[in-house]
Amino acid sequence: MLGANDGIVSVAGLVLGVVGATTDNKAILFAGLAGLVAGALSMATGEYVSVSSQRDTEHAAVQKEMRELAEDPEGELKELAGLYVKRGLSAELAHQVALELTDHDALAAHSEVELNIAPGEYVNPWTAAVSSMVAFTIGALIPLLAIVLAPESAQVAVTVVAVIIALAITGYFSATLAGSPVSRAILRNIVGGSLAMAITYAVGHVVGTTLG
Q: Is 42 exposed, middle or buried (0-12, 13-18, 19+ CB in 10 A)?
A: middle
Average pLDDT over the chain reads 89
Mean pLDDT for the stretch of residues 169-179: 89
Q: What is this structure's pTM?
A: 0.79
Has residue 77 got a pLDDT over 70? yes
